[in-house]
Structure formats: structure tokens, C-alpha cells
């Protein structure tokens, strides 16, 4: 670890992948959320399944699950993990879709990045499938809600 305390930087400041080989494998879980805001007509079309590209929510769910499994391909210093569970839940509101992902594994490192990646990939998929209806959609409030397992223990975002 360097002087600033960043584990992904060595003593010279160069980026490197952290060695987790000596860490104990524990049950780990992470929950992440985000929201994509849109016009009321866009949310209505998604809820009614009335878009030209098909079932937006089903495709976004699959995109989120796939993204969680491929996080180490996108985020350079993430370890490839054997993920035991991924769920992506989508809730359509009047002018938004709220997305929550849960990722679980038993291993030497956590799944926070996988949960965050699942949410954002699902949101980007919604944007892609609905951009002809609403190019002003905004993805926001991407956050880790909770995580458990590992040396650092449990984290829960205050309400």
C-alpha cells in the first residue's frame, strides 16, 4: 500500500492489481441502485411493453446480469470472480425506472463493482432501447446501498 492508502497503487504510484491470494474466502454480498429519469410517456411505454424494440425491462435485466458476470473485462483492476447469484430488479415509476442489483459470491474479494456495473448496464440498456422516444433521459443516483463479508465487514448506506 502507498502513503495515501490506495491499495491499487504501489509504492511508486503505479496502478496494479491487488494480490488477494492470501485473503480468506468469505460469503460476500453487495446491493447497488440507480435510477434513470425520463419523460412520462417513455415510462408509460416501458410499463405497457409498448416500445418498438420489445420488452425493455427483460432486456435490461439480462444486460445487468451479464454485466455483473463480465465486470473484470471492463474495470481494469477488478478480479474475475465466480459469482453465485445476480439479481436485477426494475421498478417503473411515473417518470423513471429504479434499478436494484444484488450480487453474491464466496471468495477473497467483494462484489461491489459487480453490483454497480449491473445497475449501470441495465440503465444504459434502457437508454439504448428508448432513445428514439426520449433522448433527454438521465441516469443518476448510482450508489452502493450495502455490502457484507470480508475483513471490512458490513456497510449500509444511511437512509
In this structure, what CATH number is given to the domain that contains residue 64? 3.30.70.640
pTM of the model: 0.90
Structural domain of residue 49, as residue ranges? 26-148
Please tell me which residue in 3, 10, 55, 128 is annotated as part of the active site.
128
Look at phi and psi of residue 38 and say left if phi exceeds 0, alpha if psi is from -120 to 50, else beta.
beta
Residue 151's pLDDT is 86
Instruction: Average the pLDDT over 114-121 and give the result.
Output: 98
Instruction: Please check whether residue 2 lies inside any domain of the structure.
Output: no
Q: Is 128 a catalytic residue?
A: yes
The 3-state DSSP class for residue 108 equals coil
- Domain assignment present for residue 102? The answer is yes
- Residue 6 placed within a domain: no
**What is the structure's pLDDT at 19?**
66
Please indicate, yes or no, if residue 135 is contained in any of the structural domains: yes
Q: DSSP 3-state assignment of 45? A: helix
CA distance 156 to 132: 37
22-45 pLDDT, tens digit each = 778 899 999 999 999 999 999 999
Looking at the structure of the chain, the number of domains it has is 1
Q: Is residue 18 assigned to a domain? A: no
Amino acid at each position: 500500500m502507498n502513503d495515501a492508502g490506495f491499495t491499487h497503487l504501489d509504492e511508486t504510484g503505479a496502478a496494479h492489481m491487488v494480490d488477494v491470494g492470501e485473503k480468506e474466502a468469505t460469503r460476500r454480498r453487495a446491493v447497488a441502485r440507480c435510477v434513470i429519469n425520463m419523460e412520462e410517456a417513455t415510462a408509460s411505454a416501458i410499463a405497457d411493453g409498448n416500445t418498438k424494440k420489445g420488452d425493455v425491462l427483460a432486456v435490461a435485466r439480462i444486460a445487468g446480469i451479464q454485466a455483473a458476470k463480465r465486470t473484470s473485462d471492463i474495470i481494469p483492476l477488478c478480479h474475475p470472480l465466480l459469482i453465485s447469484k445476480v439479481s436485477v430488479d426494475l421498478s417503473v415509476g411515473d417518470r423513471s425506472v429504479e434499478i436494484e442489483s444484488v450480487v453474491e459470491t464466496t471468495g477473497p474479494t467483494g462484489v461491489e463493482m459487480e453490483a454497480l456495473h449491473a445497475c449501470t448496464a441495465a440503465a444504459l440498456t434502457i437508454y439504448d432501447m428508448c432513445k428514439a422516444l426520449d433522448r433527454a433521459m438521465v441516469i443518476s443516483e448510482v450508489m452502493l446501498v450495502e455490502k457484507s463479508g470480508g475483513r471490512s465487514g458490513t456497510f449500509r448506506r444511511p437512509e
